């Protein structure tokens, strides 16, 4: 027989034989990607693949199989919406926050923007900022500026379209701040008062990132200072920047309607605006618990996400839309890069946002249809005598498998952390099992990392989530994120030099961003804490007697995320104050956190078979 666990992300199979004494002998296993949404007929393809690989690993043929045991996998789907709460808007041509890799010169320069082609027309003594379009030769640029300086023109800075700031700065007779790599240099308004600031490597600007510094330069009154404060906030931490005052100084920071959520509980209802933040949203979820459904405000991104998740589940499970309910929702405060309107070089500012993950369950399970499809496919593959049945509820099977972890006993809590959901189950000394299923797990962490770092690359975000980081400081050594240094006999790849890299058994891969190692590590760990630690505590309180975590003795972590190099540590630290023994499961003492449900299905079937045999003997 083969026990098969259909998860949100992976499908696991465990091949076993029941010997003459009724004992279970495990022969082998396999792991594949789940095909389709968990609990739908499309799972059959992944199940067949897992079974085929498992029997090959066990050294037997498909034709020798008698029985396939599937978990009772109620369809679950998670959706994510990141709704920005605020947005910095710079109208007209105002440019802020430009931070090129190699600015030139040093200092703070203030003057009227003048095109370099018109520099000869500037009167001596006039303070100017020179605007150089893309394509201009750096030697010609430097010569033209030097000639203007010799005539007495007060050149206080320069804005370049090309990546030539250092080359120009090295050829000037005066030291001025120069920024380059301005992609839309043609949008910079000529004739407007501007300020350019550049500081030494490793430092950040002081004047243009200070609202009162801007007020001093541009002679702003208190009301104008209040309006321009978002500009200063967006510039914080940059090595260089330009601020151009447009005729009306149109800068504003406004609240964007984020949409509202309506929570429907068993006996209570609640309504809350998403812009109130994650803490108040989750407090409302707790207040109306147990949650029966969630409705999103129509016409907003939040409402669209809720509606899409609900419709997707209805389409996949062939259930009526009215039978689909949202049973859990997780809200997380985050920061996401938002493009600043009016910027001329792709400037962004980090703005507050709320990430929402919703979990949907249908009215009834369609697992028997999955079992029938699996049996049909395997019979066509040569397993003529095979049958497939739903062998047990997932949570109950998980705890049975987890109990094979050495050093555990009842009462025991299992935390199964997958891609789409976090599931918890507790088995009492009496054998009674209680379970809870929560929205948010590995996929949500990946999306948070992708959003906060502005990667727009989920595959790269997944690597950052799973792998430790390092910084290639030379061609022969890497400083790891824990501060230690690893040396190499052969030179590192040129594309890794001076870059933050992910480290795996296959080698190192450079991360094509300008974020520092500390920034990437902080985003990664914070995302895991906001999802896994928060959900772990939510799940444990839901299954603990009277919600008291001190009543829990042992917690076993299962699922792919339990193999992560830091998630088990984060959760163990969070539950340590309650005296809970927490660690990564080791199913059957050999499988690690994998295969718990599949092994539990086989163990449960064997136990039922022994009971039937004893009943027949007694009869």
Domain spans, the chain: 79-85+256-361, 94-251, 407-585
For residue 300, give the DSSP letter.
Answer: S
pLDDT tier, 89 (very low <50, low <70, confident <90, very high otherwise): very low
Q: Architecture of domain 94-251 in CATH?
A: 3-Layer(bba) Sandwich (3.50)
Question: In which residue are the tokens 């962004």 written?
Answer: 348
Q: Is the pLDDT of residue 252 over 80?
A: no
**Lowest pLDDT segment from 104-118, 198-212, 327-341, 380-394:** 327-341
**Lowest pLDDT segment from 78-82, 175-179, 378-382, 501-505:** 78-82
- Contact between 425 and 71 (Cβ < 8 Å): no
Mean residue pLDDT of the chain comes to 86
Query: What whole-number distance in Å separates Cα of residue 130 and Cα of residue 155?
Result: 7
Q: Is the pLDDT of residue 617 over 80?
A: no
Helix (H) / strand (E) containing 68: strand 67-72
pLDDT tier, 78 (very low <50, low <70, confident <90, very high otherwise): low
pLDDT tier, 75 (very low <50, low <70, confident <90, very high otherwise): low
Q: Is the pLDDT of residue 96 over 70?
A: no
pLDDT tier, 349 (very low <50, low <70, confident <90, very high otherwise): low
Q: Architecture of domain 79-85+256-361 in CATH?
A: Alpha-Beta Complex (3.90)
Q: What is the pLDDT of residue 256?
A: 45
Query: What whole-number distance in Å separates Cα of residue 236 and Cα of residue 224?
Result: 19
pLDDT tier, 551 (very low <50, low <70, confident <90, very high otherwise): confident
* Long-range pairs for 254-258: beta carbons < 8 A, 24 or more residues apart: 254/86, 254/87, 254/89, 255/85, 255/86, 256/84, 256/85, 256/86, 256/87, 257/300, 258/83, 258/84, 258/85, 258/300, 258/301, 258/302, 258/354
Query: What whole-number distance in Å separates Cα of residue 540 and Cα of residue 413?
Result: 8
User: Cα dihedral sign for 381, 385, 386, 389?
Assistant: positive
* CA distances (Å), origin 412, targets 218, 405, 546, 607: 66, 11, 16, 19
- Average pLDDT for 122-150: 94
Of 349-363, 400-414, 457-471, 605-619, which one has max mean pLDDT? Answer: 457-471
Q: What is the pLDDT of residue 165?
A: 93
pLDDT tier, 244 (very low <50, low <70, confident <90, very high otherwise): confident
pLDDT tier, 254 (very low <50, low <70, confident <90, very high otherwise): very low
Q: Architecture of domain 407-585 in CATH?
A: 2-Layer Sandwich (3.30)
Q: Is the pLDDT of residue 21 over 90?
A: no
Report the 3 state secondary structure along 133-170: CCCCCHHHHHHHHHHHHHCCCEEEEEEECCCCHHHHHC
Give residue-wise pLDDT tens across range 554-565. 899 998 889 999
Give residue-wise pLDDT tens across range 415-470. 988 887 888 899 888 888 888 888 888 888 998 999 889 888 999 999 999 999 99
- Average pLDDT for 561-579: 93
Give residue-wise pLDDT tens across range 28-65. 999 999 998 787 888 999 999 999 999 999 999 998 99
Beta-ladder partners of 13: 4, 30
Give residue-wise pLDDT tens across range 276-285. 888 999 999 9
Give residue-wise pLDDT tens across range 291-337. 999 998 877 777 877 887 788 777 766 778 888 888 889 988 887 76
């Amino acid at each position: 027989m083969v026990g098969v666990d259909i998860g949100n992300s992976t499908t696991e199979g465990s091949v076993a034989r029941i010997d003459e004494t009724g004992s279970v002998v495990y022969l082998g296993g396999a792991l594949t990607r789940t095909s389709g949404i968990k609990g739908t007929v499309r799972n059959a393809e992944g199940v067949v693949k897992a079974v085929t690989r498992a029997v090959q690993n066990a050294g037997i043929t498909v034709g020798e199989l008698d029985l396939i045991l599937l978990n009772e996998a109620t369809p679950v789907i998670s959706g994510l919406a990141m709704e920005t709460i605020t947005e910095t808007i710079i109208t007209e041509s105002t440019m802020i926050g430009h931070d090129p890799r190699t600015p030139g010169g040093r200092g703070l320069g203030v003057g009227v923007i003048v095109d370099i082609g018109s520099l000869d027309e500037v009167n001596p003594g006039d303070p100017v900022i020179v605007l150089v379009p893309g394509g201009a030769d750096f030697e010609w640029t430097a010569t033209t500026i030097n000639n203007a300086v010799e005539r007495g023109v007060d050149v206080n800075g320069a804005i370049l379209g090309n990546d030539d700031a250092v080359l120009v700065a090295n050829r000037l007779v005066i030291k001025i701040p120069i920024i380059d790599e301005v992609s839309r240099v043609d949008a910079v308004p000529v004739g407007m008062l501007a300020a350019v600031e550049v500081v030494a490597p490793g430092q950040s600007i002081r004047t243009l990132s200070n609202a009162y510094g801007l007020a001093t330069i541009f002679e702003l009154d208190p009301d104008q200072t209040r309006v321009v404060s978002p500009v200063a906030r967006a510039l914080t931490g940059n090595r260089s920047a330009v601020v151009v005052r447009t005729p009306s100084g149109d800068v504003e920071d406004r609240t964007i309607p984020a949409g509202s959520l309506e929570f429907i509980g068993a006996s209570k209802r609640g309504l809350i605006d998403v812009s109130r933040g994650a803490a108040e949203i989750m407090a409302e979820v707790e207040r109306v618990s147990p949650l029966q459904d969630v409705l999103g405000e129509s016409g907003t991104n939040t409402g669209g996400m809720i509606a899409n998740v609900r419709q997707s589940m209805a389409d996949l499970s062939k259930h009526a839309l009215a039978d689909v309910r949202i049973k859990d929702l997780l809200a997380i405060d985050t920061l996401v890069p938002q493009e600043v309107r009016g910027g001329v070089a792709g400037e962004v500012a980090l703005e507050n946002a709320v990430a929402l993950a919703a979990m949907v369950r249908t009215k009834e399970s369609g697992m028997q249809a999955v079992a029938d499809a699996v049996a049909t496919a395997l019979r066509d593959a040569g397993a003529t005598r095979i049958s497939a049945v739903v062998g047990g509820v997932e949570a109950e099977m998980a705890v049975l498998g987890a109990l094979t972890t050495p050093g555990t006993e009842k009462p025991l809590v299992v935390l199964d952390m997958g891609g789409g959901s976090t599931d918890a189950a507790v088995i009492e000394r009496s054998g009674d099992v209680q379970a809870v299923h929560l929205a948010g797990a590995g996929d949500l962490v990946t999306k948070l990392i992708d959003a906060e770092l502005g990667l727009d690359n989920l595959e790269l975000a997944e690597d950052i989530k799973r792998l430790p980081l390092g910084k290639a400081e030379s061609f022969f050594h890497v400083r790891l994120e824990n501060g230690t240094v690893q040396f190499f006999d052969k030179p590192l790849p040129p594309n890794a030099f001076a870059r933050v890299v992910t480290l795996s058994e296959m080698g190192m891969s450079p991360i094509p961003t300008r974020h520092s190692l500390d920034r990437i590590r902080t985003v990664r760990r914070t995302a895991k804490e906001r999802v896994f630690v928060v959900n772990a505590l939510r799940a444990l309180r839901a299954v603990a007697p009277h919600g008291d975590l001190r009543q829990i003795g042992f917690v076993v972590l299962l699922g792919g995320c339990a193999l992560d190099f830091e998630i088990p540590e984060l959760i163990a630290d969070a539950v340590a104050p309650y005296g809970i023994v927490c660690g990564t499961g080791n199913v059957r003492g050999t499988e690690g956190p994998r295969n718990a449900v599949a092994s539990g299905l086989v163990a449960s079937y064997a136990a039922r078979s022994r009971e039937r045999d004893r009943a027949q003997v007694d009869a």
